């Protein structure tokens, strides 16, 4: 999705990093309790250092909902996260994204029109009352609203198992109204859906990938009827780079090494890894590893590098020797952060992210259902 970020004045683009850091620190001091800065784990170090709270997309959305005192929430992350923060915060709070071009290529792989079309096509083949739509947090607010309208929930990489257990009414499902379907339509990340399905004991035969470019997602009627998981054909270009060959190469060079990956990686990689989990989980797993461990991590490089710095007694490396930053997360930098904060000092709100109340109301249902379940 194309969004238009204004070009910053030279005063920001040409400033020295130390000067920008001093300006951000001063703006933070002057705005005091009126401001909260949230930082996703994939942010650069020079930005994350100013975050009042760091977290994964789940933790930050929960935290945003508790900070009703702050008038301005500056979200150092990507667009869908800022949208979720706007939905979950009170109406007197304003959410700002320092660079409007900080989107998520995976979130852009599904839009409301495509999902509505597939839903309509499925209606001719299966009983939609028995299908629970689940959207990954990495999706536009309009998709969260779709899910809210159709009895489903949002999930993140830390709670996908609990959400799918609820959606299918499996043993141990949270006692939250709804769910208990025969099928799940999961979007936009096929990998998180597939990996979670396997973790819950399902097999590949219970899953079908739906391609939004083809009629009925490219499925035969029989497939649509048989499948428990209809997995949207979307992926994260950062996590898709990790491969089974990289795991084998690491194991060959580091016998006894530990492999930890994010569930947005392909199933063959997850299967070979020692541990799999959200960004928050990965941090805890590296913390818990004994001193002297050699750990290959399959996730975005800013987090991997930070973990390496914070654990000098362990060797933490990227599973992909060529590494791959998330180019959209990287758009949030000190010049953009300083620019939005200076605006607030001048009484100008720049890059406010607002979700129209008609969309927000249904999206809130899906987000609050998620918070109730997990």
- Does 264 interact with ligand 13P (rule: CB under 6 A)? yes
Q: Does 84 bind ligand 13P (CB under 6 A)?
A: no
Shortest Å, Cβ 158 to ligand 13P: 6
CB of 70 to ligand SF4, least distance (A): 24
- Residue 35 or 109: the one with the smaller Cβ distance to ligand SF4 is 109
Binding part of the chain for ligand SF4, among 68-76, 117-125, 231-239, 275-283 by CB under 6 A, reads 231-239
Q: Which of residues 191-220 bind ligand 13P (CB under 6 A)?
A: none
Q: Which does 142 bind (CB under 5 to 8 A by kind): ligand 13P, ligand SF4, none?
A: none
DSSP one-letter string for 91-126: TT-EEE-S-TT---TTGGG--HHHHHHHHHHHHTTS
Smallest separation (angstroms) from ligand 13P to the CB of 71:
25
* Residues 184, 230 contacting (CB under 8 angstroms): yes
Among 95, 168, 236, 338, binds ligand 13P (CB under 6 A): 236
Q: CB under 8 Å to 371, separation ≥6 — which residues?
A: 62, 65
* 31/104 with CB nearer ligand SF4: 104
Task: Note whether 56 binds ligand 13P by CB under 6 A.
Answer: yes
Q: Which residues of 97-112 are buried (b: 16+ CB within 10 A; e: fewer)?
A: bbbbbbbbbbbbbbbe
If the CB atoms of residues 135 and 278 are measured against ligand 13P, the closer one turns out to be 278
Which stretches of 220-315 are DSSP H helices?
221-226, 244-253, 267-272, 279-288, 301-310
Does residue 328 belong to the site contacting ligand 13P (CB under 6 A)?
no
Question: Which one of ligand SF4, ligand 13P, none is in contact with 56 (Cβ closer than 5 to 8 A by kind)?
Answer: ligand 13P
E strand spans, the chain: 35-40, 53-55, 72-76, 94-96, 131-136, 153-155, 183-187, 207-210, 229-232, 258-261, 275-276, 294-298, 315-318
- Token pair for residue 313? 């007694």
Record the tokens describing residue 288, joined without a space. 């818990």
Determine the interface stretch with ligand 13P among 11-19, 54-62, 90-98, 108-116 (rule: CB under 6 A).
Answer: 54-62
Residue 286 touches ligand 13P, criterion: CB under 6 A: no
Say which entry of ligand 13P, ligand SF4, none residue 57 contacts (CB below 5 to 8 A, set by partner kind): ligand 13P
Contacts of residue 316, defined as CB under 8 A and 6 or more positions apart, other chains included, come to 286, 295, 297, 304, 307, 308
Q: With CA atoms as reference, report the closest residue to 296 among 270, 325, 258, 327.
A: 258
Q: Is 43 in the site for ligand SF4 (CB under 6 A)?
A: no
Q: Which residues bind ligand SF4 (CB under 6 A)?
A: 78, 104-106, 138, 236-238, 300, 326, 328-329
């Amino acid at each position: 999705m194309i969004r238009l970020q204004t070009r910053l004045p030279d005063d920001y683009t040409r400033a020295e990093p130390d000067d920008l850091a001093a300006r951000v620190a001063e703006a933070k001091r002057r705005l005091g309790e009126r401001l909260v800065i949230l930082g996703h784990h994939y942010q650069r170090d020079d930005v994350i250092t100013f975050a009042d709270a760091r977290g994964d997309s789940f933790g930050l959305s929960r935290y945003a909902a508790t900070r009703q005192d702050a008038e301005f929430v500056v979200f150092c992350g990507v667009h869908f996260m800022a949208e979720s923060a706007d939905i979950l915060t009170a109406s007197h709070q304003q959410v700002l994204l320092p660079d409007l071009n900080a989107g998520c290529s995976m979130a852009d792989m599904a839009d409301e029109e495509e999902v509505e079309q597939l839903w309509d096509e499925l209606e001719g083949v299966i009983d939609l009352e028995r299908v629970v739509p689940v959207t990954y947090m990495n999706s536009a607010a309009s998709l969260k609203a779709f899910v809210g309208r159709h009895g489903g929930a949002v999930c993140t990489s830390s709670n996908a198992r609990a959400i799918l257990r609820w959606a299918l009414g499996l043993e141990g499902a949270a006692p939250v109204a709804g769910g208990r379907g025969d099928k799940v339509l999961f979007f936009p990340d096929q990998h998180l859906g597939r990996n979670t399905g396997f973790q819950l004991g399902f097999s590949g035969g219970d899953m079908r990938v739906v391609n939004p470019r083809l009629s009925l997602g490219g499925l035969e009627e029989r497939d649509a009827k048989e499948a428990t998981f209809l997995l949207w054909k979307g992926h994260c270009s950062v996590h898709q780079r990790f491969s089974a060959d990289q795991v084998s190469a690491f194991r060959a060079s580091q016998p006894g090494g530990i492999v930890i990956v994010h569930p947005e990686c392909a199933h063959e990689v997850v299967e070979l890894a020692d541990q799999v989990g959200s960004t928050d989980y990965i941090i805890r797993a590296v913390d818990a590893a004994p001193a002297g461990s050699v750990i290959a991590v399959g996730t975005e490089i800013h987090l991997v590098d930070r973990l390496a710095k914070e654990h000098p007694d362990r060797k933490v490396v990227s599973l992909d020797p060529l590494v791959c930053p998330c180019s959209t997360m990287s758009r949030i930098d000190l010049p953009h952060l300083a620019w939005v904060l200076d605006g607030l000092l001048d009484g100008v709100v720049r890059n406010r992210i607002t979700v129209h109340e008609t969309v927000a109301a249904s999206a809130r249902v899906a987000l609050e259902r998620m918070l109730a379940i997990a």
